[in-house]
Amino acid sequence: MSEILPDNEDGIDIAVRLLLGGDLVVMPTETVYGLAADAMDFEAVAKIFALKGRPPTNPLIVHIASADHVDEIAYNNDRAKALANNFWPGPLTIVLPARPSVATNVTAGGSTVGIRVPNHPVALELLRACRIPLAAPSANRSEQLSPTTVDDVMRGLGRLCPPVLDGGPCSVGIESTVVDLTASTPRVLRPGAISQQQLEDALGVAVAIGAADSTIRSPGQMPRHYAPTTPAILSESPWSEPRAASRHAAVLHFSDKPENAPSANAIKLPTNPFAYAAGLYTALHLLDRAYVELIVIETPPEGDEWIAVRDRLSRATAPRSPLNEFTR
């Protein structure tokens, strides 16, 4: 059983000592729990890749205590400063040209680095106390569901789980928006709680969405990612899906269950997109442990505020292809 560190000075002290000694710690953030290591220490960061089974071609996000620390790891620019002013601390990762101080495995050997200031008191306390930038991807095995509770972290990483700083359930619940500011047009590489429109309003320029070329540069851009182990499908009307009636199936829905619907294992999420996102991974983790053979997920509504949730669900339900298995 791995150790849970309390969210007080003692817990932070232990976490700082581990991190400065080149070891891993799981830290809470407002998006999902992160598997953290010293972002300047190649060997420490290598432990993240090993534990996650993450392909070395996929870069990690670096967490800092405040926007003042950007210059330690990246070449800052006016657009990044504007976004940091508007959205940090918060669920926005900004991709900038990297300085050589960052461990080369953090950037996956590339010339850019993704940075954010998390909006969680325990994460901020930890970052201030250890005085180093922390590389931290989600604290789960590569491709699987991100954890938003301590319980999900520990179940997911099992006996290899490093000590976990307890920060309670994550309030945002899905991974940060990633925006690339290294080209002339800012580009959203991964949708999240901060929308394309909010970025455009803050920057005063058009922001593109999606990868600029067909090269998949990061795990968040993989067709299958953020996925439960149990097969999952999307359905506009989950209750009429014949397979949902089976006692071997479960339904994840947000609209009311019709009166005549078959009785099925089900979890209802809120109809507000932000509250839905906050509960999504916990619900999927629960259903994944329910010994069902299929999870039928009600297709979320159209609309900008649902883009991030739709993105995660389309990846969670993408077929397992030989390509996806290979790039896992």
Residues found near ligand AMP in the complex (CB under 6 A): 59, 61, 93, 95, 107, 110, 112-114, 137-138, 175, 178, 189-190, 217-220
**45 vs 244 by CB, closer to Mg ion:** 45
126 contact, one of Mg ion, ligand AMP, none, CB 5-8 Å limit per kind: none
**Considering the complex, what minimum distance in angstroms separates the CB of residue 186 from Mg ion?**
22
Query: How far is Cα 245 from Cα 112, in angstroms, rounded to an integer?
Result: 48
To Mg ion, the closest distance from the beta carbon of 174 in angstroms equals 10
Cβ proximity to ligand AMP: between 136 and 295 the closer is: 136
Contacts of 201 (CB under 8 A, 6+ apart): none
Q: Closer to ligand AMP at the Cβ: 39 or 249?
A: 39
Token digits for 100? 């050589």
Q: Which residues contact 314 (CB under 8 A, 6 or more apart)?
A: 234
Min CB(39)–ligand AMP separation in Å: 11
Query: Rounded distance, CA 188 to CA 203, Å?
Result: 13
Q: Which is nearer to ligand AMP, 222 or 295 (CB)?
A: 222
| Least CB distance to Mg ion at residue 225 (A) | 7
| Closest distance of CB 179 from Mg ion, Å | 17
Which residue, 276 or 281, is less far from Mg ion as judged by CB?
A: 281
- Taking the least distance from each CB to ligand AMP, the nearer of 24 and 189 is 189
| Residue 209 CB, nearest approach to ligand AMP (Å) | 13
Kindly state the smallest distance separating residue 136's Cβ from ligand AMP, in Å: 7
Task: Indicate if the alpha-carbon torsion angle 17, 131, 71, 174 is positive or negative.
Answer: positive
Pick one of Mg ion, ligand AMP, none as the site partner of residue 61 (Cβ within 5 to 8 A by kind).
ligand AMP
Nearest approach, Cβ of 146 to Mg ion (angstroms)?
5
Among ligand AMP, Mg ion, none, what binds residue 178 when CB lies within 5 to 8 Å by partner kind? ligand AMP
**What's phi and psi for 289, nearest 5 deg?**
-100, 5
Q: Which residues bind Mg ion (CB under 5 A)?
A: 138
**The entry of Mg ion, ligand AMP, none that residue 28 binds, CB within 5 to 8 Å by partner kind:** none
Query: Half-sphere exposure of residue 216, counting CA atoms within 13 Å on the CB side?
Result: 14
Which residue, chain included where needed, has tokens 């916990």? 282
Residue 161 interacts with which of Mg ion, ligand AMP, none, CB < 5 to 8 Å by class: none
Instruction: CB nearer to Mg ion: give 76 or 221.
Output: 221
Residue sitting closest to Mg ion (CB): 138
Binder of residue 182, out of Mg ion, ligand AMP, none (CB less than 5 to 8 A by kind):
none
Q: Which is nearer to ligand AMP, 189 or 234 (CB)?
A: 189
